[in-house]
């Protein structure tokens, strides 16, 4: 059948199972938005306040649902406004398709109004990108973009479509899109046998789960592995929810702000099994002191990550789920009771308890642990970046994959609210909360209008200390308490801000206000903003200084000013 480019684009999105687009219209995508008007009963469009918010929303939608997120924006500034969101998805391996408009093909390269080389700009932060200059190639380009976004190590793909291509007419032939099957033929039987032997010889194994466990839907297989080998488990920031945090085997997060128990276990284990992780610098810290007594097995889908940040003794390259489905049946039942008791004793000895400067201080730990209790550890939690992010990872106990949405690799302030919008749209039956610091919140608080417009029942939990808390913490420890430009004190009346958008508002200023306020917010039928007034000198602990060994964390910081 004959269709114009805009109709072909939307038909191809329907082929891929797309039901929601996050975007913002403009001149170069007018034809696509005109087609969306006709397709509004098939494809839901969420109009955000800003193109960056649209990209973060598509990212949050992808993380929470496991589907591919889709963002649609115009050319020029519309396209460049997506760059931070694309980089965020790229660093965290999130499947995203970003569709940008551009000037007509004859005007490309002439510095035309709102023309930008977005494929050139985004080349380093996408798995692949395309510019479609021939209407006959549009359908197959869209199909290829989704395949690339979801195959192997997942990630964002950009499709740039000049305006004249969206209006041109071409023959369109629908296609049935087969489900992608992960490639399981990336390792030999000998590779598996070597891993089995290393595991069976271990007396003190340590299992570490990263974002790849969630990306490959391998939580069940990881559970089987740790039960078979009787090992303790820690997770990266991106791996939260890949293993049930309520389980007695779980030691807490590993890394710069990880638990002391996990740090001790790394130093004393004799086998470290990293699953779906790239061994970030924020995890391994001082390379020479990381797992000094252990052999290391790395299981990862991306061969480029092997031996990149740390040398390992053995690798199993492939989709985590496929690898473990081959590995687990080869393992017999192991028992390491002495090792597990030692882990339990460290957990008792090093509980991570926050301290305030006064006995009645309002502590983030109290707020987040109460939230976890009231939601049964079942809510979808997004975060901004900084202290709020670490506190959420430390004190909310995640039970399942796809519960924790955070900018791990890129560290994008302003990510969380957009991500929460996408998660709530994709998972309307789940409770979604964005845990934010006031610095991050003020970067993208314009997306409150999106919550209000669509009555999206997200809770914005604002941990308000009127400073850039994480940067201030570093200034205190390493810059002689010279708090340069980290004291905000902007005097924002958050009740008026919420009121301007018609959003329900509460304040928590005392510990006794935590439970009743959270209960009211959780019972609300629409968006809520909660302003939690906390002290500016509550720090994220433990903290391993840059260059120090992972088992040398700072456990207490004296506040004398």
The 10s digit of each residue's pLDDT in 83-137 is: 999 999 999 999 999 999 999 999 999 999 999 999 999 999 999 999 999 999 9
Class of the domain covering 364-533 = alpha beta
Known catalytic residues are 51, 113-114, 163, 470
Give the residue-averaged pLDDT of 543-552. Answer: 91
Give the SS3 label for residue 73. strand
Q: Residue 528: how many CB atoms within 10 A of its CB?
A: 24
The answer to whether 85 and 417 are in contact (CB under 8 A) is no
List the Cα angle 544/548/552 in 5-degree steps.
60
Q: Flag whether pLDDT at 205 surpasses 90.
A: yes
pLDDT at 560 over 80: no
Query: Which of the four CATH numbers 3.30.565.10, 3.90.1150.10, 3.30.70.370, 3.40.50.1220 does domain 189-349 have?
Result: 3.40.50.1220
pLDDT digits (tens, 9 = 90+) for 470-499: 999 999 999 999 999 999 999 999 999 999
Domain spans in the chain, listed from the N-terminal domain onward: 2-171, 189-349, 364-533
- Tell me: pLDDT of 237 over 70: yes
| DSSP class per residue in 354-365 | ---SSTT---HH
> What is the pLDDT at residue 559?
79
**Alpha-carbon span 378 to 374, nearest angstrom:** 9
| Longest distance between any two alpha carbons in the chain, whole Å | 75
Measured between alpha carbons, how far is 460 from 485 in angstroms, rounded to an integer? 25
Task: Report residue 186's pLDDT band, with 50, 70 and 90 as the boundaries.
Answer: confident
Which tops the pLDDT comparison, 558 or 275? Answer: 275
Which helix (H) or strand (E) element contains residue 344? Answer: helix 337-349
- pLDDT beyond 70 at 561: no
Q: How far apart, in whole angstroms, are the C-alpha atoms of residue 177 and residue 155?
A: 19
Report d(CA 56, CA 419) in Å as an integer: 5
Cα separation, 187 vs 154, whole angstroms: 20
Which distant-in-sequence residues (6+ apart) come within 8 Å of 309 by Cβ?
Answer: 278, 279, 280, 281, 284, 287
What average pLDDT does this structure show over 187-203? Answer: 97
Query: Comparing 189-349 with 364-533, is the CATH topology the same?
Result: yes
Torsion of CA 361, 365, 367, 368, to 10 degrees: 170
Q: How high is the pLDDT of residue 558?
A: 81
pLDDT band at 181, cuts 50/70/90?
A: confident
361 vs 358: which has the higher pLDDT: 361
Out of 2.30.30.90, 3.90.25.10, 3.60.15.10, 3.40.50.970, which CATH number does the structure's domain 2-171 have?
3.40.50.970
Rounded to an integer, what distance in angstroms lies between the CA atom of residue 250 and that of residue 35?
A: 50
C-alpha span between 528 and 420 (Å, rounded):
12
Residue 376 has a CB neighbour count (10 Å cut-off) of 10
Segment 504-509 mean pLDDT: 98
What is the band of 392 on the pLDDT scale with cuts at 50, 70, 90? very high
Segment 445-474, tens digit of pLDDT:
999 999 999 999 999 999 999 999 999 999
Residue 195: per-residue pLDDT: 98
């Amino acid at each position: 059948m004959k269709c114009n480019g805009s109709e072909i684009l939307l038909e191809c999105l329907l082929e891929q199972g797309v039901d929601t687009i996050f975007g913002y219209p403009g001149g170069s995508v007018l034809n696509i938005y005109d087609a969306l008007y006709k397709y509004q009963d098939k494809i839901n469009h969420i109009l955000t306040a800003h193109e960056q918010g649209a990209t973060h929303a598509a990212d949050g939608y992808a993380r929470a649902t496991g589907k591919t997120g889709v963002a649609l924006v115009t050319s020029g500034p519309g396209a460049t406004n997506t760059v931070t969101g694309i980089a965020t998805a790229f660093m965290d391996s999130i499947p995203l398709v970003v569709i940008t408009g551009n000037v007509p093909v004859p005007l490309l390269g002439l510095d035309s109004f709102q023309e930008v080389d977005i494929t050139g700009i985004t080349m380093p932060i996408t798995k692949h990108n395309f510019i479609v200059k021939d209407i006959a190639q549009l359908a197959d380009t869209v199909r290829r973009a989704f395949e690339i976004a979801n195959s192997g190590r997942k990630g964002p793909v950009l499709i740039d479509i000049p305006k004249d291509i969206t209006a041109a007419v071409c023959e369109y032939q629908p296609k049935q899109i087969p489900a992608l099957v992960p490639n399981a033929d990336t390792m030999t039987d000998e590779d598996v046998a070597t891993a089995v032997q290393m595991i069976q010889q271990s007396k003190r194994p340590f299992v570490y789960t990263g974002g790849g466990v969630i990306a490959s839907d391998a939580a069940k297989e990881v559970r089987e592995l740790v039960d078979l080998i009787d090992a303790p488990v820690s997770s990266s920031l991106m791996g939260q929810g890949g293993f049930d945090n309520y389980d007695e085997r779980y030691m807490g997060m590993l890394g710069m702000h990880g638990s002391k128990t996990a740090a001790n276990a790394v130093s004393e284990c004799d086998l470290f099994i990293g699953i779906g992780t790239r061994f970030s610098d924020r995890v391994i810290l001082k390379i020479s002191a990381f797992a000094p007594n252990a052999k290391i097995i790395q299981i990862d889908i991306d061969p480029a990550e092997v031996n990149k940040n740390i040398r390992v003794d053995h690798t199993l390259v492939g989709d985590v789920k496929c690898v473990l489905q081959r590995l687990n049946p080869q393992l017999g039942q192991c028992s390491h009771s002495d090792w597990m008791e030692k882990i339990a004793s460290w957990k008792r000895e090093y509980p991570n308890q926050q301290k305030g400067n006064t006995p009645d201080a309002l502590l983030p730990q109290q707020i987040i642990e109460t939230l976890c209790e009231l939601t049964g550890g079942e809510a979808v939690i997004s975060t901004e970046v900084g202290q709020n992010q670490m506190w959420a990872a430390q004190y909310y106990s995640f039970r399942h994959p796809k519960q924790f949405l955070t900018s791990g690799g890129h560290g994008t302030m302003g990510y969380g609210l957009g991500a929460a919008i996408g998660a709530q749209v994709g998972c309307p039956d789940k409770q979604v909360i964005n845990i934010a610091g006031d610095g991050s919140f003020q970067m993208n608080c314009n997306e409150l209008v999106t919550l209000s417009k669509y009555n999206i029942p997200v809770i914005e939990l604002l941990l308000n200390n009127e400073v850039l808390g994480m940067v201030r913490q570093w200034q205190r420890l390493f810059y002689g308490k010279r708090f340069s430009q980290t004291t905000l004190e902007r005097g924002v009346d958050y009740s008026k801000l919420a009121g301007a958008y018609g959003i329900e508002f509460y304040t928590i200023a005392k510990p006794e206000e935590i439970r009743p306020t959270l209960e009211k917010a959780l019972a609300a039928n629409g968006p809520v903003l909660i302003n939690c007034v906390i002290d500016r000198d509550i720090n994220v602990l433990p903290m391993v200084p840059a260059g120090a060994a992972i088992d040398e964390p700072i456990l207490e910081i004296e506040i004398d000013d």
